[in-house]
Amino acid sequence: MSFKLTEAANLINGNLIGDSDIIINNLARIEEAKEGDLTFLYLPSYQKYFASTKASAILVKIGFNKTRKDIAYIEVADPNKAFFNILNNYFSPSFPLEGIDSTAFIHSTAKIGSNVAIGKNVVISKGCKIGNNVKIYHNTVLLNEIEIDDDSLIFQNVSIREKCKIGKRSIIHAGTVIGSDGFGFFTDEKNVYQKIPQIGIVIIEDDVEIGANVTIDRAALGATIIKRGVKIDNLVQIAHNVIVGEDTVISAQTGISGSTKIGNHNILAGQVGIVGHIETSDNVIVMAQSGISKTITKPGQYFGSPAKEFRTSLKLEAHMRNLPDYVERIVQLENKIKDLEEEMNRIKGK
């Protein structure tokens, strides 16, 4: 894909400074860009590459000091977002699949919408409903009575179990399992674990993207719900009866225990762990490797295990690092007190 720089500037409402007829062939990171590439400068830590970048054009913040004359500039309020808008407009990947492959099995009772693409060895079982413009890649298994809405994209080796519902414009990446049994057991009179039947479903609402090798367990009763606009990274575990609020982002290796409710617009960073049967407020950010052990009622940033408000956690971390010094100072103070007591006793003895 090639385009004129002036077209990109118009797309993002940017102020173009330099040759408007430059042809852009690719987008690239500033330290890797070549002639014909468009790059961007957003974080101050990357400014060191400005002098050496070979890019033909660069997205910069308004007011940036444009010292190089051999490069064109597009000034915007947010170069990061502008770059991604150009990326989405000119370089969105096409799905390499059309029609229904001859190796796919589609049950006679399944209902398939228009413009659906189904790859090799896909299994679509009894009573499944698939909307228009859905694309299902190789080796995917859809069990009984699944509903998948329009414009969804499901990649290879995905398993979606019976009665689960997938919303519009969903993207589900390779290796993900939706509707696996929740982790429910009880001990009988002999102290032997017995399985609790998991008879609920999973509901994935519209505009959700689920990464590779994610597991979302079906509810014991009712539904595990992933609400509109949620984005889930790879290797995330979501247990039975969890509800994840709208526009929440969950990073890799996060685990959410059963019956927990995550608020809207939360950000759960990598390797966050959350116990069961609690809730988080809307607009909560949980830093990486934090453990949430109780309900969070206020918006804000949280860190640590157990997690605390970010500033409080930083203070505690600072004190922890200083503990060896504190111990030494306490010992010195104790010795001084002991010396003073001995001196007072000596004076009294006179």
Residues involved in catalysis: 240
Buried b (16+ CB within 10 A) or exposed e, 300-319: ebbbbeebeebeebeeeeee
Beta bridge partners of 225: 203, 243
| Residues 267 and 285 sit within 8 Å (Cβ to Cβ) | yes
| Dist. CA 209–CA 44, nearest whole Å | 30
Neighbours of 237 (CB within 10 A): 18
Beta bridge partners of 202: 224
The Cβ-side half-sphere exposure at 124, using a 13 Å CA radius, reads 29
Buried b (16+ CB within 10 A) or exposed e, 142-179: bbebbbbbbbbbbbbbbbbbbbbbbbbbbbbbbbbbbb
Neighbours of 82 (CB within 10 A): 23
Structure token pair of residue 126: 């009894």
Q: What share of the chain is helix, strand, coil (3-state, %, to 5)?
A: 20, 30, 50
Beta bridge partners of 301: 285
| Residues 111 and 49 sit within 8 Å (Cβ to Cβ) | no
CB proximity list for 67: less than 8 A, separation 6 or greater: none
| Dist. CA 169–CA 149, nearest whole Å | 8
CA distances (Å), 259 to each of 205, 297, 348, in order? Answer: 18, 17, 68
Specify the length of the chain in residues. Answer: 350
